[in-house]
Amino acid sequence: MRASGTTRLLRHTATAAATVALVVGSLAAAVPANAAKPTEPVGFHPELDYAGSTVAKHEGRDTSATASTFAALAVTQTKGMDVSGWQGNVAWSTAYANGGRFAYVKATEGTTYTNPYFAQQYNGSYNVGMIRGAYHFALPNNSSGATQAAYFVAHGGGWSKDGKTLPPALDIEYNPYGATCYGLSQAGMVSWIRDFSNTVHTKTGRYPVIYTTTDWWTTCTGNNGSFGATNPLWVARYASSVGTLPNGWSYQTIWQYADSGTLPGDQNYFNGAFDRVQALANG
């Protein structure tokens, strides 16, 4: 006896479902459970990546530089810090009592990571009277500058003219996962940075502060001089003086001079009195 139309339809549906299940099961078996996401580098460790996490390894530290070396700077410059998930919950009242007046807080890395301590750090620094801002740890070989900028702005990298929020910042430094310049040519790196910068500007009204070192900038951008007119410079150099700056900048806005000290995280000086920090916050 021939099967009815309804019976044939049920058999066909069951066969198709079994085929789909077999294919899905095969794909699942082919992909290891612990496989890295396509947008993440092998060995992804964003909790260990922060502004300056690669600097000492590549450029070293001047061990002759002591607290007394920088004492004169405290008269004309403003002391601050940068922190990340590495610091966890920060004792902001203590940091303020020890002279900290501004802070940059890591918000994001690539397009998959957000700092789990961001709210405590970003809001906590604000609540004790510091001027604070957010920064993004760049992975230029993973996705476009525009894509990472959009992710950053959507996850803490915004800006408001409240007098207490610094411009968003781009942390662009030695690759912690491989090739120093992330496999990009010098022209390609410049294009990536410009893409990121322009996207942040479009979304927030501010060009991002650029964090880097002179050596990395020279190596990976060809010492490009086209950002100095729009982007404030946050330069890292662990020595007794700031040294030669990247091309295009005649002065640094912020100098990260040590990766440890009396304040949590990295130690920084803003190149001016506190009212100049406020001026940068206000645009």
Spatial contact of 113 and 142, defined as CB atoms under 8 Å apart:
no
Tell me the Ramachandran region of residue 258: left when phi exceeds 0, alpha when psi lies from -120 to 50, beta otherwise: beta
Spatial contact of 211 and 54, defined as CB atoms under 8 Å apart:
no
CA pair distance 100, 117, nearest whole angstrom:
19
Indicate which residue of 49, 109, 173, 266 is catalytic: 173
CB-based contacts of 185, cutoff 8 Å, min separation 6: none
171 is catalytic: yes
Residue among 231, 238, 193, 196 at smallest CA distance from 214:
238
CA pair distance 81, 232, nearest whole angstrom:
17
Residue among 177, 188, 261, 265 at smallest CA distance from 220:
188
Tell me how many degrees the CA angle 38-42-46 measures, rounded to the nearest 5: 95
CA pair distance 70, 218, nearest whole angstrom:
26
Other Cβ atoms less than 10 A from the Cβ of 9: the count is 11
Indicate which residue of 40, 49, 109, 171 is catalytic: 171
Indicate which residue of 49, 82, 109, 266 is catalytic: 82
Catalytic residues: 82, 171, 173
